[in-house]
């Protein structure tokens, strides 16, 4: 993928837009804290991280910028825990009505309340932080987007390596790294695109969706193994493991033999 020139002013505007999105989603989360606002806030904080990562070093080191981004990362981790409980809760709602389902729901409500308290605490701290805003003209003296090209190149090489490794090993730790890095790369490509998204964006989104579905099974399996001991737990674990295995096999079959995720010619142009 031959790099296009990314104007510093565009990077500043993208960062300001990401900050505004976080602030907006933050207020919604503080008012509601439901599944929808939790997911929206999580997405906003992830996009902020991408926008921040491609700013010039001197800008990233500014105390007001670093404090805000650091606080948003801490919040994102806590919000992620709430989101994980929501994923398991959505699974529990599909179970047949009965005593076991009610036990799951009760336990998950308790877990969510605990995770939500921590997330709300971090959210209030972020709201107290001074919201940073970049003046696009202040970046005119910086490079023409060299760092953005470098970050994109590093992510492409990392994602391509993780993709090939996961197809071979199917290791969970590799899957998590691939899913997170693929998301970061997609956000960066979307940030830099000019109207038309490159085909790689859709490929990355498809990979994220597939790996996310596998991870959902992992969340449920881990929950069943560690939290609840009911007569139906063993059967449910076996069922989730079978579903996970089927999804994993589908992913490997769909993607194996298609060559590099990132075209070799593109990665060598970075």
Are residue 24 and residue 7 in the same domain, yes or no? yes
Query: What predicted TM-score, i.e. pTM, was given to this entire model?
Result: 0.87
66: tokens are: 């670093």
Q: Which residue has the tokens 């904080």?
A: 45
Number of folded domains in the chain?
A: 2
Are residue 83 and residue 130 in the same domain, yes or no? yes
As to burial, measured by CB atoms within 10 angstroms (0-12 exposed, 13-18 middle, 19+ buried), residue 110 is exposed
Per-residue pLDDT tens digits for 74-118: 999 999 999 999 999 999 999 988 888 899 999 999 999 999 999
pLDDT value of residue 5: 41
**Quick check: 228 pLDDT over 90?**
no
Side-chain half-sphere exposure of 114, counting CA atoms within 13 A: 8
Are residue 125 and residue 93 in the same domain, yes or no? yes
Are residue 170 and residue 107 in the same domain, yes or no? no
pLDDT value of residue 4: 42
As to burial, measured by CB atoms within 10 angstroms (0-12 exposed, 13-18 middle, 19+ buried), residue 242 is exposed
Are residue 158 and residue 243 in the same domain, yes or no? yes
Per-residue pLDDT tens digits for 241-250: 999 999 999 9
Measured at the CA of 219, the angle between CA 260 and CA 221, to 5 degrees, comes to 110
Write the CATH number for 54. 1.20.120
pLDDT value of residue 220: 96
Task: Give the Cα separation of 195 and 197 in Å (integer).
Answer: 7
Average pLDDT over residues 201-228: 92
Domain carrying residue 96: 1-136
34 pLDDT band (50/70/90 cuts)? very high
Per-residue pLDDT tens digits for 123-139: 999 999 889 998 887 77
Are residue 46 and residue 149 in the same domain, yes or no? no
- Between the two ends of the chain, the Cα-to-Cα distance in Å is 8
194 pLDDT band (50/70/90 cuts)? low
Task: Give the Cα separation of 254 and 2 in Å (integer).
Answer: 27
Task: Give the Cα separation of 173 and 171 in Å (integer).
Answer: 6
Are residue 207 and residue 118 in the same domain, yes or no? no
Are residue 123 and residue 235 in the same domain, yes or no? no
Are residue 130 and residue 6 in the same domain, yes or no? yes
Are residue 80 and residue 149 in the same domain, yes or no? no
Average pLDDT over residues 208-214: 96
Per-residue pLDDT tens digits for 44-86: 999 999 999 988 888 889 999 999 999 999 999 999 999 999 9
Are residue 186 and residue 263 in the same domain, yes or no? yes
2 pLDDT band (50/70/90 cuts)? very low
Are residue 81 and residue 162 in the same domain, yes or no? no
* Mean pLDDT score of the chain: 88
């Amino acid at each position: 993928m031959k790099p296009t020139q990314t104007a510093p002013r565009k990077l500043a505007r993208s960062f300001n837009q990401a900050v505004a999105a976080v602030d907006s989603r933050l207020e919604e989360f503080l008012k509601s804290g439901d599944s929808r606002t939790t997911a929206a806030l999580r997405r906003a904080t992830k996009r902020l991280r991408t926008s921040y990562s491609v700013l010039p070093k001197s800008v990233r080191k500014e105390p007001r910028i670093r404090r805000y981004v650091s606080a948003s990362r801490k919040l994102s981790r806590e919000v992620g825990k709430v989101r994980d409980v929501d994923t398991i809760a959505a699974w529990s709602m599909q179970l047949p009505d009965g005593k076991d389902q009610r036990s799951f729901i009760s336990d998950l409500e308790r877990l969510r309340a605990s995770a939500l308290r921590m997330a709300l605490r971090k959210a209030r701290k972020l709201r107290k932080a001074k919201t940073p805003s970049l003046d696009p003209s202040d970046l005119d003296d910086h490079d023409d987007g060299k760092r953005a090209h470098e970050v994109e190149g590093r992510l492409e090489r990392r994602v391509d390596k993780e993709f090939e490794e996961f197809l071979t090993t199917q290791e969970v730790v590799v899957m998590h790294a691939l899913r997170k890095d693929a998301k970061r790369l997609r956000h960066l490509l979307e940030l830099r695109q000019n109207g038309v998204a490159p085909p790689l964006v859709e490929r990355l989104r498809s990979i994220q969706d597939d790996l996310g579905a596998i991870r959902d099974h992992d969340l449920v399996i881990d929950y069943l193994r560690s939290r609840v001991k009911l007569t139906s737990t063993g059967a449910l674990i076996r069922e989730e493991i079978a579903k996970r295995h089927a999804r994993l096999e589908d992913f490997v079959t769909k993607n194996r033999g298609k060559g590099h995720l990132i075209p070799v010619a593109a990665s060598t142009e970075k």
